[in-house]
Chains A and B, each alone.
Chain A
Amino acid sequence: MNIVVLVKQVPGTDNVKMDPVTGVMIRSGKDTIINPLDENALAEAIRIKNSHENVKVTAVSMGPESAMKAIKEAIAMGADGGVLISGRAFAGSDTIATAKAIAAAIRKVGDVDLILCGERATDGETGQTGAMIAYYLGIPVETYVSGVEVKEGGVIVKRTVEGGFERVEIPFPVMATVNKDINEPGFPTLKGKLKAKETAVPVYGPAELGLEPAELGLKGSPTRVVKVFSPKLSRDTIMKKADGTTGPVEEMMKFLAGKEAI
C-alpha cells in the first residue's frame, strides 16, 4: 500500500513579518515548521505503516528549496522517502495552480492508495488545496477527517461535521484531509534522522512534471489579490476596574439588562 503525505512549510511564529510597502509576507526560511495539521497527517500515515504490512509512505512538498527541510523532517519521523516540487515558475500559485502541480507530482510517485494532508495550512488558511488535488487526480476526497480505519481495499473515515461526526466508507484511491483530533504527532527518532540524511529526495520542476508554464504560478491562478490592509477593531468600551466590591459586576448586569442581552 502506498501512502502520500503532503507537508507544507509554514512560518513558525505568530509574528509574521510583512513587507510594509507591498503587504506581502516576508518568508525568511529560517523560522519555519511543518504545517501542524500536516504533522497529524504524517503521524496517521506512520501509524498505518506500523500496523500493516508493506506500507510505503512518501512525503511530498511544494515550496522553495528550503522546503527540503520539511521532507527530511518527515523522513526523520518515519516516512520512507520524499519528493520536492520547486522552481521559480511555481511562485505566486493560488490553490488551483498549486493543486495541479501537486497532483502531477503524486501521479509521478505512482500507484498511490491513500493521500493524507492537513485540513488546512496555518499560513494561507484556505483549506482548498486537498480537495482540488483530489479532483485533478480524479479520486474522491474526504475532509475534516478525525479517524481512518484501513479495511480491505479501502478505508472508513470519521469526518467531523457541525454538531457531530459522519462515518463514510470509501475504496482506494482516496484523499483525506485530517484535523487535529485524529492523533498526537510523534517526534523524529535518531534512526530516522540518520535515514533522512542518507535518503536522496528528487526535486521536480515544471518540465519533470509535464506542466505548461500557463498552468503555473500567477499565470495559472484565476484569483488576484487586489489589496491588503490591517483589520480595524474598536467598540465604545465601558471600562471598570475591579476593586474588591461587587460594584463593577453589578454595573455589568445593569448594562447587559439594558442591552437585553440577559
Chain B
Amino acid sequence: MSTYVNANVEKEQKLSQYKGVLVFGEQKDGKILTVTYELLTRGRKLADDLGCELSCVLLGDEIEGLEEVVKRGADKVFFIKDAVLKNFLPRPYSKAITKLCEELKPEVIVAAATTTGRTVMPLVAAMLETGLTADCTELTIDADTRLLLQTRPAIGGNIMATIKTPDHRPQMATVRPKSAKPAAFDAARTGEVIVKEYEGATFFTPEKFLEYIKDTTQEVSIEEADVIVAGGKGMKNADGFRMVEELARILGAGVGATRDAVELGWTTYPHQIGLSGKTVAPKLYFAFGLSGKIQHLAGMQTSEVVVAVNKDPEAQIFKVADFGIVGDVFEVVPMMIEAFKNLKANA
C-alpha cells in the first residue's frame, strides 16, 4: 500500500515539473507561415486556461519578423537557428524540438496537422515517450484535472473521440490548419525572442534536401483559396465536372472534389477534400452534386458560408449548408455561371 502511495506521489512530482504551453510554428523561405498564428490562437486559449506561459518555437536558418509572433500572443519565441534547419527535414527538426522540450518541459505541445507537423510530432512524441493525438478539431482543458482534452474524428469521421494523456508529459496534439482564426496583431504586447544555437552535431542527418518543386497543375491551391467550388458524383462524368472548374475559374476559386469524383478520374487527388484528402475552411464553399457523407464533411464543414445544389432534398450536405437549392446541377449550375459572369462584367 505505501509503495503504491509513494509511487503516486513520485508520479505527481514528475508530472508537475512540466509547465507552459508550446506551439510549433512553421516557416518557409524564412517567412513565418499563417498557420503559426492559428496555433497562437489555440495556444493562447490553453495557456490562459492553465494560467501559464505560451511559447512558440520556430526552426530555420534566417527568419523574418519573429517579433510578430510576440505581438500575436506568444510570451516567448524560441528560434532554433541552424543551417540544416533551413528546409524541413524530419530528423534534425524532431531532434531540435525534442532538445528544446527537454529544457523547457512544457505541459502541452500543439503543432499544425500540416505535412511538417504530422511528420515531426510523431518523432518527438516517440523520443519523449509520450502520447500524441493527431488532427484534433477541438482542444480544451479539463477544469478539475488540468488535463488536455483532445477531440478528433475517428473511424472515418463517423464518430468523434475525446482523448487524454493522463500519465505522460508533454501532452501533444496536432490541429488542422485553418481550424482556428489567426491570432490578431496587438502592437502593445511584449515578450521575449530567444535565439538558440545548439551544437551542429545535434542535428547531423544523412538526409539531403535537394529541391522544392511548385505544383503548377493546380491553378489555385485549395488550402489557400477563399472560395472553393467542389463537385461530386452527381456531376455525372468528366464533362459535367468541367462545369465545376468553369465556375471556379470565373471566381478565381479552388477546385474541390469528393473521393468518388477523384476515383472516377474527373480530377486529381490534390483536389480531394475530406478525411483522406485535404481540410479546407474557405469563406465560401460551393458543393455541387455531392451527398455530404461524413468523410467529406470532415474536410469542409468549418467553411464560413456553404452553398449546396443537390437533387435529393434529404442529402446530408444540406445539413451544413447556409443556402441550399434542391435541383439538377445541370440546370442550376449553368445559371450560376451566367449570374457570376454578369456580376463580373458589371463590376
- Report A's interface with B, CB cutoff 8 A: 14, 16, 18, 23, 25, 94-96, 99, 120, 122-132, 134-136, 140-144, 156, 159-171, 179-181, 221-231, 233-242, 244, 246, 248-250, 252-253, 255-256, 259, 261-262
Q: Nearest Cβ in chain B — how far from A158, in angstroms?
A: 8
Q: Which residues of A contact B91 (CB under 8 A)?
A: 140
Q: Which residues of A contact B221 (CB under 8 A)?
A: 162-163
Give the residue of A123, A168, A236 whose beta carbon is less than 8 angstroms from that of B155. Answer: A123
| B325 close to A248 (CB less than 8 A) | yes
Q: Which residues of B contact A159 (CB under 8 A)?
A: 115
The binding surface of chain A is classed by DSSP as: mixed
B14 close to chain A: CB less than 8 A:
no
Decide yes or no: A249 and B332 within 8 Å by CB, A142-B90, A222-B167 being known contacts.
Answer: yes
Decide yes or no: A224 and B323 within 8 Å by CB, A96-B131, A235-B306 being known contacts.
Answer: no
Decide yes or no: A170 and B325 within 8 Å by CB, A128-B132, A239-B318 being known contacts.
Answer: no
Q: Which residues of B contact A94 (CB under 8 A)?
A: 131
Interface residues on B, range: 35 or more
Q: Which B residues, 79 to 117, have Cβ-Cβ distances below 8 Å to chain A? A: 87-91, 94, 114-116
| B155 close to A16 (CB less than 8 A) | yes
Q: Which residue of B lies closest to A229 (CB)?
A: B160
| A242 close to B328 (CB less than 8 A) | yes
Which 7 A/B pairs are nearest by Cβ-Cβ distance?
A242-B327, A222-B131, A223-B131, A131-B122, A135-B126, A128-B122, A222-B168
Q: Can you list 18 pairs linking A and B with CB atoms under 8 Å apart?
A: A125-B156, A128-B132, A131-B90, A132-B123, A135-B122, A142-B207, A165-B215, A167-B210, A168-B89, A180-B269, A223-B131, A226-B164, A237-B318, A237-B321, A240-B323, A242-B331, A242-B332, A259-B305
Give the residue of B207, B214, B268 whose beta carbon is less than 8 angstroms from that of A169. Answer: B207
Q: Which residues of B contact A222 (CB under 8 A)?
A: 129-131, 165, 167-168
Q: Which residues of B contact A125 (CB under 8 A)?
A: 134-135, 153-154, 156, 275-276
Give the residue of A127, A128, A241 whose beta carbon is less than 8 angstroms from that of B325. Answer: A241
Decide yes or no: A252 and B325 within 8 Å by CB, A142-B90, A237-B318, A244-B331 being known contacts.
Answer: yes
Decide yes or no: A144 and B115 within 8 Å by CB, A131-B122, A239-B324 being known contacts.
Answer: yes
Decide yes or no: A168 and B207 within 8 Å by CB, A259-B305, A261-B305 being known contacts.
Answer: yes
Give the residue of A141, A233, A249 whose beta carbon is less than 8 angstroms from that of B335. Answer: A249
Q: Which residues of A contact B161 (CB under 8 A)?
A: 225, 227-228
Give the residue of B166, B206, B295 whose beta carbon is less than 8 angstroms from that of A170. Answer: B206
Give the residue of B88, B165, B328 whose beta carbon is less than 8 angstroms from that of A224. Answer: B165
- Report B's interface with A, CB cutoff 8 A: 87-91, 94, 114-116, 118-119, 121-123, 125-127, 129-135, 149, 153-168, 205-215, 221, 223-224, 268-270, 275-276, 283-284, 293-295, 297, 301, 304-307, 309, 313, 316, 318-328, 331-332, 335-336, 338-340, 343
Q: Which residues of A contact B129 (CB under 8 A)?
A: 96, 222
Decide yes or no: A99 and B213 within 8 Å by CB, A141-B119, A143-B118 being known contacts.
Answer: no
Beyond A166-B209, A237-B318, list 10 extra A-B contacts (CB 8 Å).
A94-B131, A128-B118, A224-B164, A225-B162, A226-B149, A231-B160, A233-B320, A234-B319, A237-B324, A238-B324
